[in-house]
Each structure stands twice: as structure tokens, then as C-alpha cells.
Amino acid sequence: MADTPPAGDPNANLPQMRVMVHYVKDLSFENPGAPEGLRGGEPPQFDLGVDIQGRKLHGEVHEVQLLINATATRGGKTLFIAELSFAGLFELVNFDDAMREQVLLIECPRLLFPFARRVLADAVQDGGYPPLMLEPIDFAGLYRQQKGQGQTQPLQDESGGEPPAGNA
């Protein structure tokens, strides 16, 4: 089966996205509150952060990273710190620059999120706590908010010449 449409195909110039692979790029779990923090008590407070970074690798292939940081505290003491960089390679063909940016900063993270959520939940559970089940993230809303504030940046190319895209 060919990756490109046959010659004369009316769909040959339509935008096409292909998910090539997704993977854990980096995962860290620190458990400084163990074993005392595992005994229960009042519910912990959570500090969550999400960032999206994208870069062009070669041709039409881009890497998008979904970075999630979670810190749980109780009574001013840190129970755990979890940091995850979950990435995917996406091939984007026939996209103009504006549409490519939206796909990379909205659609690609939306596709990565369920997998990243599971990895993070498993890491927290393996640390002795109930799994951390993150609510779905409105990546389109984050993108619109950042665009309105002028916070989105050009995508980084493979030579590292441009800064990463997106911060949430």
C-alpha cells in the first residue's frame, strides 16, 4: 500500500496527517513524602502544569511533546512530584503555515493526551498513591488564549534555530 495518493487522484493536494509513532521521552517520579505521606489523611493539593513543544525534524515530519508536571502536597509537605514528556512524530502534508501550527498545537496534543494521562496515572499509582486521573484539556481553548496574548512562538526547526511552540 502506497503512502502517497496515485497520480491524478483528486485528493492528492488535500491536507493529510499521519501519526508515525508516540512514546515516552522522559518520565520522572519523586516520592519524598513516602512512607509518611502514604498513610492517608486530608486530600492533597495539586499543582499541575502543561506545556506543548513542537519542532520540525525533516521534510514534513514534526515532533510534538506534551509536557505534564504534577506536584502533590499535604500540610505544606511534598508528597510526590511527577514529570512526563510524552511525544509523537507526525507527518503533515499539504498544510499551509497557519493550519500546520494549529494542527501541531491543538490536534497533535489532543491525540497524545490519553496516552500521556495513562502513563502519568500509572506512575503515581506505582508510587503508592491513587492514580492521578487528569481531566481532559481544551487544547483549542489554550491555543486561542495564547494567540490572543501573543504567546505562541514559531516552531523550532531541526537545527534549533527557532524557539519551541506553545506554552500552556
For 85, other C-beta atoms within 10 Å of its C-beta total 18
In a domain, 70, yes or no: yes
CA neighbor of 68 nearest in space, from 141, 156, 136: 136
In a domain, 156, yes or no: no
H helices of the chain, in order, are: 97-102, 108-126, 139-149
In a domain, 87, yes or no: yes
In a domain, 30, yes or no: yes
Specify the number of domains making up the chain. 1
For 113, other C-beta atoms within 10 Å of its C-beta total 18
Q: What is the pLDDT of residue 156?
A: 61
In a domain, 9, yes or no: no
Q: What is the pLDDT of residue 10?
A: 66
In a domain, 144, yes or no: no
Give me the domain span that covers residue 32: 16-136
- What gap in Å lies between CA 130 and CA 105, rounded to an integer? 30
In a domain, 166, yes or no: no
The CATH number assigned to the domain holding 67 equals: 3.10.420.10
What pTM did the predictor assign?
0.81
In a domain, 164, yes or no: no
71: Cβ–Cβ under 8 A, 6 or more apart, which residues?
A: 46, 47, 78, 80, 81, 82
Q: What is the pLDDT of residue 159?
A: 45
10-residue mean pLDDT series, the chain (168 residues): 58 87 98 88 91 93 97 94 98 92 95 98 94 93 83 56 42
